[in-house]
Structure 1
């Protein structure tokens, strides 16, 4: 009787079972970053190691999400306290991302407002042909703003219990995100400068590249949400 009393959970939090996915994700991240550095410096095996890291991260994303969906949907482990913790974690993640990109903006404005003599004392540097902001960058900005509006529409549709409209909103958002990624890739292929072309190329590709990477990850997130919505995993009360 005492043993049974000890096994009764007297708190609203979810104590997760031991999982291999954090370790596998760390190994995948190591392979991704190390392989990326080797690939960019044209070392043998860098491309293979980079691909291995990407595949490992994608595999961990799938399996970890699968476990979380099972815990939330079938085991009922996501209580109100757990949902509040998840929301707080997402808020902290967004704050950390703001600080992450703040460093790139700091580098850009430092170099552009006060250009050093090494680059000719002007911005953009004398040997750089800048991309016009009124071409693909402007179109991509419109796509991003439109995707924000469509995903907000989908969220309000879920809260209102309108599954069809929510599916339409998520589908439109995925189309916008895919178009953005394709145009970003085309812009990179047609750019008259590369990452190794001084501080301008470094800041441009680091800032826009990481932003594009976030768009790709967000597209995967929304694709998973669309699949789960089609399988009736979301309700008006529980859709986080």
Structure 2
């Protein structure tokens, strides 16, 4: 309904549905990590509920937008919401980058006897080599090899950088009203996102089967898979979002001046690109 100059949405069931889905998924993931038999099923069920919520809620928003219920005030609130959402994602990844920095620059050298860790080193881990990467004192995480930066990771970097270019060209086509070019560049961006995910999955299989690099490979394995894994999850979500707005482009939902739904996804995709550059440098190269 409308109140004054601002659209107030009707009562929606989606917030509670999303909360239930996230709760079930959290219980499932925690149980799965603790090897409970029901863990995978709860995780799958929670994920399915969250997906239903996402598609249902966004369908409602798209229908309301197409009906012309949103004005400039609503558009502004959407932009602010997306900005704060991306900021929260920046803080999310900053926590994991911070963990990597702390482990590499402070914790591992300290366990090796540097600074105030001299007595800890002598009493607990006298033979610990503080060189990076490490599986931990006593090689508790097992032996492993790292993935060379200038192989598949470099190729994936080029893929994501190219996708940033294609989505920028798509934006240019949208603002010029060139629908054919818009759809072509969007399809190219989607294809690059899928290609990135394929190569990342290939890298993970190689790491587990051939290199002995797993989530249990000490602090290096933990930080490697947490950072690259969560980034892969974001690329997956971003690719789904790209597919949705590509279909909307085909349906003619966006105009030269009214296309924030498209812009929001483009902002998110550029954020994903920037995070990967940080990952490539600090996880693979250095």
What whole-Å deviation, never above 9, does each CA across 1:25-60 have from its counterpart, x for those lacking one? 111111112211222322111111111111111111
After superposition, the Cα gap between the structure-2 partners of 1:138 and 1:193, relative to the gap in structure 1 and judged at 3 Å, is: same
Alignment-derived partner of residue 64 in structure 1: 57
Rounded to whole Å, the distance in 2 between the matches of 1:77 and 1:133 is: 49
Alignment root-mean-square deviation, CA:
1.6
CA deviation after TM superposition for structure 1 residue 24, in Å: 0.5
CA deviation after TM superposition for structure 1 residue 113, in Å: 2.7
Alignment-derived partner of residue 225 in structure 2: 205
Query: Which runs of 4 or more aligned residues in structure 1 lie more than 4 Å from their structure 2 counterparts after TM superposition?
Result: none
Aligned length: 232
Q: With structure 1 as the length reference, what TM-score do the two structures score?
A: 0.92
The aligned runs of 1:103-142 (5 Å cut-off) are 103-114=95-106, 115=108, 116-117=111-112, 120-125=129-134, 127-142=143-158
1:55 maps onto 2:48 in alignment: yes
- Structure 2 residue runs of 5 or longer lacking an equivalent are 113-124, 136-142, 261-286
Rounded to whole Å, the distance in 2 between the matches of 1:43 and 1:226 is: 40
After superposition, the Cα gap between the structure-2 partners of 1:8 and 1:236, relative to the gap in structure 1 and judged at 3 Å, is: closer
Rounded to whole Å, the distance in 1 between the matches of 2:2 and 2:178 is: 39
Q: With structure 2 as the length reference, what TM-score do the two structures score?
A: 0.78
- Structure 1 residue runs of 5 or longer lacking an equivalent are 1-6
CA deviation after TM superposition for structure 1 residue 8, in Å: 7.3
1:16 maps onto 2:9 in alignment: yes
1:214 maps onto 2:217 in alignment: no
